[in-house]
Copies of this chain bind each other. A is one copy, B any other.
Amino acid sequence: MIVAAHRLFQRQGYERTGFSEVLAESRAPRGAIYHHFPGGKEELAVAVIRRSADDIASRVNAAASASKPSLALRRYVEETIENLEHTGYEAGCPLAPMVLEASGWSPAIRDATHQAFEGWTTLVSAGLRRSGVPAARARRLASVVIAAIEGAMILARATQDPAPLRAIIAELGPMLDAAVA
């Protein structure tokens, strides 16, 4: 159910995705979703955000094994491009619609997205610190890279073109390498 909801939230956002659609897509019995998510769609959204936070963290950790920050960035962003192209530009980040649609009325959803962004920023920033970047700058760079990827996924979906993501590889990769050097 989390996988099905994740896919639907990525494709069309929070409000448009109904419980019945999640059931149909997951082929879970109707009782299951109410049993596992008594708090309804809001609770399911929080579960999707947490799962997504963990998945992205694993991808960041895998990319971080590269020998230079620019190569880690390239690996991560190329995977992102592949996911988008493979799904007809539907597989965006499921967190962005949650923030835009629900952060105003759902403290639970906003807190979950806050924790996810905070976790990714800490993770990327720790990698840069290990390469010798001072703490404050490492945090700023991590934040810029994460924001740029979030935004570029939106531009790429609007334009059906991976160029905004490729621009990140070309421009932010050298910036990270220079910060480490």
Those of A91-106 within 8 Å (CB) of chain B: 92, 95-97, 99-101, 103-105
Which B residues are CB-close (under 8 A) to A14? 13, 15
Those of A148-180 within 8 Å (CB) of chain B: 148-152, 154-155, 157-160, 163-164, 166-168, 170-172, 175
Which B residues are CB-close (under 8 A) to A19? none
Interface flag for A135 (CB, 8 Å): no
Which B residues are CB-close (under 8 A) to A101? 12-13, 15-16, 97, 101
Interface flag for A36 (CB, 8 Å): no
Which B residues are CB-close (under 8 A) to A160? 110, 114
Which B residues are CB-close (under 8 A) to A168? 144, 147
Q: Enumerate chain A interface residues (CB-CB to B < 8 A).
A: 11-16, 89-90, 92, 95-97, 99-101, 103-105, 110, 113-114, 116-118, 139-141, 143-144, 146-152, 154-155, 157-160, 163-164, 166-168, 170-172, 175
